[in-house]
Structure 1
């Protein structure tokens, strides 16, 4: 097939959707498909629409200068319509965040052209669900024949509510390179060594880094003999508040936050850690948690987050109902050696179903559904 991948955000921006859409493009290409990406993300210094090649993928940047580099371009639809009409595409695959004006335009233009269209949501709607329902575009796309999907069952529930229960919402999980994130040999853990908990996140409110500090502080209170340590990988606007809260809790003894790291550095930190924790509740999927799980780490997360898509309680991690439950789970794993070892062994020996070859097959099935729905 010839596939148009359409997303507000794309490389060189770094984030969940940006990296996932580019990795999907590369893996679809490996599977024999022709892929072209469309985005409103600008390259530094770009002043007009440009075409570039990234890792063999043609990328149309339909971008204009915006404050803070925001990927917004209300002038894009005419150019997009011309490119999609002339491109000979078999299917358009639109990737949605909570607010995604360029992707919304892409879905509208593709459907107006009678181009088979798949739309995947990568975020939870949360407080935006009411306004989105009022505007009604999700229901309109469903009625127009778009094949709707979301990256997890948690995210799909909201999309189904907005589209109407008569319209199927498939689950298209994010993909992972299981070779790249394969477990590495772990150093032997001696008696009396601290229990190392790690998390990777952008330091922002939705990811809940401040609450994470309180959770680990409580787990340390419950299991003082385990000497639980926390390392948070990433950077963001809440850094000053995170540092201040850690100081209030005496975190100089047990908390470190080295900032943003490369993928190789993250893998090394996971190799030296014992447990991964993902405290965000409004997490549609949780790619960082999946990466940690693939390297072998047991994962602690809220039951209502998208992490529950690939973590089974007491098999390869612990799913909890609230912050108190996460503190309890950390304390339990820190003190129950056999349980922790069993979870690590499971994650080391059993590949996640979200490997890229498997995800590509799911995506291909969704493209066929989009084509069938416009016949």
Structure 2
């Protein structure tokens, strides 16, 4: 097949959508299909990818030629800019929804158009929470993780400390990770917290650490290279994902693929990302989060969580996810 993937956010930008678009395009190409990627993300001084054909900020005429070339047009996230092209060319379309679509209770023109667009092709939702907001025909295919994080072999004896991974913005609730650390230390746990990520909340979080008297127990790494992040996953006892909202939760899946149990908020797609490999609690509940973290540090609980990891990781490996997508694309095309 000739597959055109439009992903407005793409390498070198960093995020779950960008990661999914890149690994899917690469996997489809490795399976013998011709793949082109269209994006508006600039290189910003980085080197272009050698393994993919990427067209950055294509003109309308060029985009139409790409769509005419394609057997199937895949949008990674709804792009109103190019929705008309497959209608003009008759090219089948698949839309991957990574986030929630606004409901009819917020009837802006943009949100209305995005909801109507879901009737123009087949939709893929990365979680049940996302699927529930897509009015058009929808199937669920979960997110994958980068092969770099496929490292289940590390034993608990080699692990130490809590881990938080994510942008330092209010909805990620890194403040609750700091709260959990403080409470566990008061309960007698000699434990540390590593915070991987950066963002506008960092200064406030560092101030909270100072005020809480846990400066020596908290490490801020800032933005973390994937190889370094893989090492943190391999050496941490527990990942905390206390987000107030999350459409999937790639960090949870990365940690589980690295053998690290998770304690997360029961919101959006996080329960699906965690599966039976962690504990979930109501969002924005610091005491419930602390109690769950304490439970997850017990050896018998950790053994149960780790026993669930191999099958969960296997379901989310890129080979399985890319195959699920290719099965759908063939059905749409043929």
TM-score by length of 2: 0.89
1:126-141 equivalences under 5 Å are: 130-131=106-107, 135-141=111-117
In 2, Cα distance between the equivalents of 1:155 and 1:260?
Answer: 27
The aligned length equals: 332
* Structure 2: tracts of 5 or more residues without a match: none
1:86-125 equivalences under 5 Å are: 88-96=69-77, 103-125=79-101
| Closer/same/farther in 2, CA of residues 283 and 231 from structure 1, 3 Å limit | same
Aligned twin of 1:12: 12
User: Does residue 177 of structure 2 align to residue 212 of structure 1?
Assistant: yes
Aligned twin of 2:277: 316
Which of 296, 300, 305 does residue 268 from structure 2 map onto?
A: 305
- Secondary structure (helix, strand or coil) at the match of 1:55 reads coil
1:69-218 equivalences under 5 Å are: 76-85=59-68, 88-96=69-77, 103-125=79-101, 130-131=106-107, 135-144=111-120, 146-159=121-134, 163=135, 167-178=136-147, 180-186=149-155, 188=157, 196-218=161-183
In 2, Cα distance between the equivalents of 1:179 and 1:239?
Answer: 27
In 1, Cα distance between the equivalents of 2:108 and 2:333?
Answer: 26
Q: Give runs of ≥4 in structure 1 deviating > 4 Å.
A: 125-129, 132-135, 177-180
- Secondary structure (helix, strand or coil) at the match of 1:170 reads strand
Which of 46, 51, 54 does residue 56 from structure 1 map onto?
A: 51
In 2, Cα distance between the equivalents of 1:217 and 1:128?
Answer: 42
Aligned-pair distance for 1:178? Answer: 4.8
What's the C-alpha RMSD, in Å, of the aligned pairs?
A: 2.7
* Structure 1: tracts of 5 or more residues without a match: 47-51, 64-75
